[in-house]
Chains A and B, each alone.
Chain A
Amino acid sequence: MKPNPKLLAAITASGAVLSLAVSAHAHQTSNHREVILGSESTPLSTRVQHLRTKLRSVSPLLNESSAEGRIDNVVQFFNFRNR
């Protein structure tokens, strides 16, 4: 079976790759506009906290205080690394 493609989300200081696997089912059932507008009624800080809680459940490495799991902000303009 073909693996689902994943969106590259971040790379940790130790080089581990964090990806997001998007469910095809979520795509079929979501009215994007409705979901987005709905989620924005939740304060930004709460939405971010929810994200971080979800991440910590993936791996303890993704704790903000973990040096190994620290994620550098990627600020790319034209300076991609293609190799």
Chain B
Amino acid sequence: MAIVGGPIGLVILQSTGFCNMDCSYCYLPNRANSRQTMDLSTVTEVARLIFTSGLLKHELDIVWHAGEPLALNPAYYREAIRIIEEANPTGIAVHYGVQTNGTLINDAWIDLFEEHKITVGISLDGPRDLHDRHRKYRSGSGTYDRVVAGVKNLQARNYPFHFIGVVTAQALSRPADLLAHYWSFHPTALGLNIDEREAQNLHSSMGEDVSTERFEQFIAELLHEASRQDSPSVVIRDFQRTMSSLISGAPEDNDQVVPLRMLNVAYNGDISTFSPELLALDALARQRFIFGNVHRCDLLTDILDDHRFAAAYREIRAGVDRCSRECEYFQYCGGGAPVNKLSEKGTMDTAETNFCRLTKKAWVNACLQIANAPANRFELASAR
């Protein structure tokens, strides 16, 4: 059977696997090892494979993540971007982004961001006490002050940024506090993940003792607080994603279960696709999801012939088929996240996980409740 992959929408490059922080829920292995840096020759090979793949749309996002990208220096990224641009003769619009803990942002970094219009995502878990409880330096001290200093540096230069936060059990009683805190910094958007049991994070505070109804209540109160902010429009990634999925009338295009929608490249050039966190599994488990290496790959589509890819894809498809048979929310999800299925259930051939119960079902229920409330109304504004 011919496997259809792509189109590639997102490339995640692990420029470094090192992080200057040590968050309690982090899923990455070996993050104290500062020698895990992606060589620029690896960037050259990634660019070659991407732009000769025939799998691109008219736009492509390249995001540096899975470690603290700002632990390197701006010159590294200037050169990486030059390499990528030189390999892109097709005129495809490439958007660059970093997901950073924010602690190292200074004017030199903002110069780089401005030069290349780099999208900046800051990881912040809300007010100081919630943030510092889990997001610490290796010394054990909290990182909140340094993150906020980085954010203020961006604000001083009027450079836009969004937040991605992790919701832990301790945040569940404080949705309004959480939302108001995020919006006090005037971000462009907010994305809320949950403390997930995945890869190296073996225990989640958002386990089975957090009921779906409890999390729906959290979401509903968060959305109501969002609607009270002093801002003409509030963008919450998870609300938009859920509403788009509910409104579109078509099953969600789940990028985590379609080959090569996302291309994930580890610092050493190892290639994977599907859930990015599959590259953060323990060494033995990780081998199942390394489908090639950029230095030994002629064409990107060669990875579709790799026996490890075939086995992984078979198991992922079986899990998606199971979701489609067993779950009434399938149309608004598209079959879950392989890494969460594997980390929670030990197999990707499974249906409901705690992750999808909270991040899919609860969001769908809460969004329908708020959207269907008679007092709330939709408005459509024409394209500018």
Contacts and interface: CB of A to CB of B under 8 A. Distances in A.
Contact-size category for A: 35 or more
Nearest to B262: A77
A53 B213 CA distance: 26
Contact of A26 (B65, B231, B373): B373
B314 to A, nearest CB: 23
B247 A58 contact: no
B249 A16 contact: no
A1 interface: no
A78 B247 contact: no
A26 B376 contact: yes
A45 B329 CA distance: 9
Contacts of A51: 246-247, 368, 371-372
Contacts of B276: 77
Nearest to A37: B213
A14 B329 CA distance: 28
A78 B379 CA distance: 27
Given A5-B234, A27-B224, A36-B366, A79 B95 contact: yes
Contacts of A20: 243, 370-371, 376-379
Contacts of A45: 328
Nearest to B99: A78
A57 B39 CA distance: 55
Contacts of B217: 32-33, 36
Given A77-B10, A80-B97, A8 B253 contact: no
A18 B230 contact: no
A73 B383 contact: no
Nearest to A59: B380
B227 interface: yes
Contacts of A62: 247, 380
Contact of B247 (A19, A32, A71): A71
A39 B240 contact: no
Contacts of B378: 9, 18-21, 54-55, 58
The size class of the interface chain B forms with chain A is: 35 or more
A52 B369 CA distance: 13
Given A39-B365, A39-B368, A73-B253, A7 B380 contact: no
Contact of B65 (A2, A71, A78): A78
Interface string A30-73: 10110111011000110110111011001101101000001111
A15 B373 contact: no
A9 B243 contact: yes
A59 to B, nearest CB: 5
A24 B227 CA distance: 8
Contacts of B373: 23, 26, 30, 35
Nearest to A4: B227
B381 A19 contact: yes
Contacts of A81: 95, 119
Contact of B61 (A5, A19, A37, A79): A79
B377 A21 contact: yes
A21 B380 contact: no
B84 interface: no
B244 interface: yes
Nearest to A63: B249
Nearest to B373: A26
A7 B234 contact: yes
Contacts of B49: none
Nearest to B118: A82
Contacts of B162: 80, 82
Contacts of B120: 82
Contacts of B108: none
Nearest to A48: B246
B29 interface: no
Contact of B228 (A24, A55, A75): A24
Interface of A: 2-11, 14-27, 30, 32-33, 35-37, 39-40, 44-45, 47-48, 50-52, 54-55, 58-59, 61-62, 64, 70-83
